[in-house]
Amino acid sequence: MIMMIFSILFVYIWMNVHIESCFIASVGMLQIVLSLPFARLFYSIIGQVAYFSTLQSLVIFLVLGIGADDVFVLVDGWRQSEVDVPRLPGEDDEALLHRRLAASYSRTMQAVSLRLSLIAWLC
């Protein structure tokens, strides 16, 4: 249990250092931590699986890695969109931000869904 807590804190600190935004790191960690009860609910109610072993609790390490990587990919896509999405003539700041965010989400969706399809294929 101590290793799980240490891992969560380590990933949170690493996200803060790499992303340089406490807000984005906090929201990312909230997303990661809240995905676990949702997955457990899906597993036990929809999947009708009552058995839960200690080995299944190790999923926290897998979820931390994949979730943190998803946040890193989104932030990298946002930073890259500054170069890839030029300002159009007469475009206001809000429209530019929407186009940059759309480009970032598109890039993130492609990277994340490719990884998830590879994981599903390997399983």
Mean pLDDT computed over every residue of the chain: 85
| Predicted pLDDT of residue 122 | 66
Domain range for 28 is 2-122
Is residue 36 helix, strand or coil? helix
Buried b (16+ CB within 10 A) or exposed e, 18-34: ebeeeebbeebbeebee
Look at the chain and report how many structural domains it folds into.
1
pLDDT surpasses 80 at 114: no
Other CB atoms within a 10 A radius of the CB of residue 68 amount to 20
Other CB atoms within a 10 A radius of the CB of residue 13 amount to 11
Handedness of CA 11, 15, 17, 21 (dihedral sign): negative
Q: What is the pLDDT of residues 3-59, one digit of tens each?
A: 888 988 999 999 999 998 899 999 999 988 888 888 778 877 877 877 777 777 778
